[in-house]
Amino acid sequence: MAEILQDVVNAVSLGALYALFAVGLALVFSIAGIANFAYGDFAMVAGYVLVLVVALVWPLVVVVVIVAAMLLAVASDRLAFRPLRAADATTLLVASFALSSLLQHVMRGIAGNQPKGVDFGASVARPISIGDVTVPRLDLLTIVVVALTLLGLTLFLRRSFLGMQLRAAAEDFTMARLLGVPANRLIAAAFGLSGAIAGIAALLLTIRSGAVSIEMGLQPVLVAFVAIVVGGMGSLSAAALGGLLLGVVSVLLEVLLPPDLKPYRDAFLFTFVVLVLLVRPQGLFVARGAEARI
């Protein structure tokens, strides 16, 4: 029983982290139509910023890392994506691949190829015992942080003026523009928000692994990509649910797969994705027809 509960906490915490990434990616996708492959690299750069400022008091570290990721995201939009506003989704995806490669190689030039260990948040990495269940504090922290972040994001989108504009733009971008919503500023805001989420995710990821590396953004962004497709493109809650589902499925695979098939967990995960797409190409959690009308 205790073992099952531990697996559940583990699954929910991984799912929460994936959900966070998926929401960050979906924010930009639902508003600007950009499937931003460089999103994981925002988190990667934020991780290296963490290495730089880790000596400061921890609240300041958290703020600096998040702000750095926001600035990087907004600058990326201004320099790489804004010139391509009129392009189609696939061209934007290619552009984001190029941006991802750019960020990785610039970072490699600055920081070298080797992963760097970071001594940050070691105290939350220790396990905690509740009754006879032992879970890492980090798992609980991840779940709490993600829940708070998503709650904050929801409140922001529902209650603030900018949030209202963002929701309107996600619903129908052309209509929102016709009604006077400033497109470029809005997309920049979406990038800023997604950058902040990338910063938070980078903090959680780095505590989890205790190190940063050039490739650290790849796995999360792949999962987030798949999460927004599985969940349903264009809807934030669908993306969050998609991320959660993927986290749960991936822990399930980890637990249930026979040992000699365990290394192939990701292959099974992505096969699952293709299967989902076959049954429901529009995503699992989208009720109304999301296909573009002619």
Partner 1 sequence: MARLAPAVERVWPLLALALLVVVVTATLGPGVDIEIWLINTILVVGLYVFVGNSGVMSFGHVSFVALGAYVGAVLTIPELTKQLVLPDLPGFLGTVELSTTAGTLAAGALALVVGYLVAIPLMRLSGLAAGIGTLALLVITNNFLLNYEPLAGSGTLTGVPTDATTGMILVWLLVAMAVAFAYQQTRSSLRLRASREDEVAARAMGVPVERDRRLAFALSAGISAIGGALYGHYLGAFGAQFFYFGTTILIIGMLVIGGQRSLTGAIVGALAISAITTWLDRWEAGESALGIALELPAGSREVLFALLVLLMLKLRPDGITGGREVPWPSRWLASRSLPARTEAGR
Q: Which of 58, 101, 160, 172 binds partner 1 (CB under 8 A)?
A: 101
Which DSSP string do the residues of 179-204 spell out, in sequence order?
TT--HHHHHHHHHHHHHHHHHHHHHH
The span of 2-10, 76-84, 178-186, 251-259 binding partner 1 (CB under 8 A) equals: 76-84
Q: How far apart are CA 92 and CA 76, in angstroms?
A: 13
Which residue is listed with tokens 């600096």? Answer: 64
46: number of Cβ within 10 Å: 30
Q: 3-state SS of the chain: helix, strand, coil percent to 5?
A: 75, 5, 20
In the bound state with partner 1, the residue whose beta carbon lies nearer, of 89 and 147, is 89
Shortest separation between residue 84's beta carbon and partner 1, angstroms: 6
Shortest separation between residue 52's beta carbon and partner 1, angstroms: 20
The span of 13-21, 90-98, 151-159, 244-252 binding partner 1 (CB under 8 A) equals: 90-98
Q: Which of 4, 60, 63, 94 binds partner 1 (CB under 8 A)?
A: 94
Q: How far apart are CA 244 and CA 230, in angstroms?
A: 11
Binders in 195-254 for partner 1, by CB under 8 A: 218, 222, 225-226, 229, 233
Q: Binding pattern to partner 1, positions 35-74, x when CB under 8 A?
A: x---------------------------------------
Q: Binding pattern to partner 1, positions 109-128, x when CB under 8 A?
A: x-------------------
158: number of Cβ within 10 Å: 10
In the bound state with partner 1, the residue whose beta carbon lies nearer, of 196 and 230, is 230
Q: How far apart are CA 200 and CA 16, in angstroms?
A: 12
Q: Binding pattern to partner 1, positions 249-288, x when CB under 8 A?
A: --------------xxxxx--xx-xx--xx--x-------
122: number of Cβ within 10 Å: 10
Shortest separation between residue 242's beta carbon and partner 1, angstroms: 12
In the bound state with partner 1, the residue whose beta carbon lies nearer, of 181 and 290, is 290
Token digits of residue 256: 């249930």
Q: Which residues pair with 212 in a beta bridge?
A: 116
Q: What is the dihedral of CA 230, 232, 234, 238, to 10 degrees?
A: -90
In the bound state with partner 1, the residue whose beta carbon lies nearer, of 172 and 266, is 266
75 binds partner 1 per the rule CB under 8 A: no
87 binds partner 1 per the rule CB under 8 A: yes
- The helix/strand/coil state of 285 is coil
Which residue is listed with tokens 């994705």? Answer: 273
Q: What is the dihedral of CA 178, 180, 183, 184, to 10 degrees?
A: 140
Shortest separation between residue 283's beta carbon and partner 1, angstroms: 9
104: number of Cβ within 10 Å: 19
Instruction: Give the CB-side neighbour count of residue 105, counting CA atoms within 13 A.
Output: 6
Shortest separation between residue 129's beta carbon and partner 1, angstroms: 34
Interface contacts to partner 1, rule CB under 8 A: 35, 80, 83-84, 87, 89-91, 93-95, 97-99, 101-102, 105-106, 108-109, 218, 222, 225-226, 229, 233, 263-267, 270-271, 273-274, 277-278, 281, 294
